[in-house]
Amino acid sequence: MSIEVLASEPHYLDHLQPVIAALPDGYARLTSSARDLSGDVPVLVASWKDYQATRRSHAPVIFSEHGVGYTYQGDHRAYAGGPGRDRVVLFLNANAHVAARNQESYPHAAHALTGSPRLDVLASIPQARTTVTFSWHWDCRVTPETRTAFPHYKQHLKHLTGELAGHAHPRAWAMVTPTYQRLGWAIQRTFLDVVEQAALYVCDTSSTIYEAAALGIPVVVLNSPRYRRDVHHGLRFWRDIPGPQVDHPSELARTIDEALTRDTWVEERHRVTELLYPHRGQAAARAADAIRSIAG
């Protein structure tokens, strides 16, 4: 063993498991609890939450984002470039956007531009493409733009027809499951299920919007009245959006139908994918090489 890996929630592990698999057998020891860390070797994490949990061990930290690298005005500590990550010795940066933020804030740490190891895995999943799949962010109160749009659309979902399915951020399942069950929608519990089955992915705000687009799945992006058009965080708000946007529930059915029958966003999906996902198919190996250069 040369590193330990802390992943306290499944969606953090989704991003770290491909990296673990790319390391030599026995090189990494995985745990879901910081209490199990030895404190003697570097710790790989994929979230601010797990970074905080390592403070008792005083071990150096290797930090990988668990998404495309959303950032919000105000430099919140949970997002790339945010304060408080002084024990990070290596940042595994998914793209140039993330790298620029982290390098500016932590110029003395090592930085590797790796791409997304998770996308390597998702790209290997066969796609049946049969459902229109909805997904919602959890109601995160960091900014209005991190909040869910679910309440804005909830009462209008019953008017939709076709083969519909529901997905959600892991922290949003309690919010959306009763509605999915009442509507009789299929539930796609993991994003692997979404990738396998979705012909169209409809979502408010999530890195999965960009993952779906990178895999060639058309997306429709749902706006909430809470989202401020005069505040520009980058990426989803409001620059690199890889599909049509819906502002009002009355536009939803028409936009879905147009996305299914006349996909005009192929070139834009490709542009955004090239911007945000470098080194596709090699990301896990690049991350593993960077870790070994630090941990030995």
Cβ atoms of 217 and 199 closer than 8 Å: yes
- Contact between 169 and 206 under an 8 Å Cβ cutoff? The reply is yes
Q: pLDDT band at residue 156, thresholds of 50, 70 and 90?
A: very high
Residue 81 confidence (pLDDT) above 90: no
The per-residue pLDDT for range 242-291, each reduced to its tens digit, is 999 999 999 999 999 999 999 999 999 999 999 999 999 999 999 999 99
Number of neighbouring beta carbons within 10 Å of residue 161:
9
Those residues whose C-beta lies under 8 Å from the C-beta of residue 46, and which sit 6 or more positions away, are 7, 12, 13, 15, 16, 63, 64, 65, 66
How is the beta sheet containing 3-6 ordered, strand by strand? 28-31, 3-6, 43-45, 61-64, 88-93, 110-113
Asked if residue 58 has pLDDT above 90, the reply is no
Q: Which amino acid is at 39?
A: G
Instruction: Report pTM.
Output: 0.95
In angstroms, the CA 284 to CA 232 distance is 31
pLDDT over threshold 80, residue 1: no
Q: What is the per-residue pLDDT for 74?
A: 64
Phi and psi at residue 245, to the nearest 5°: -105, 145
CB-based contact 57:39 (threshold 8 Å): yes
The kind and range of the H/E element at 124 are: none
Residues 164/91, Cβ–Cβ less than 8 Å: no
Instruction: Name the pLDDT band for 196 (thresholds 50, 70, 90).
Output: very high
Question: For 135-147, what is each residue's pLDDT tens digit?
Answer: 999 999 999 999 9
The span from the CA of 296 to the CA of 292, in Å, is: 5
Q: Note the pLDDT of residue 76.
A: 77
With a CB cutoff of 8 Å and minimum separation 6, the contacts of 213 are 219, 242, 243, 269, 272, 273
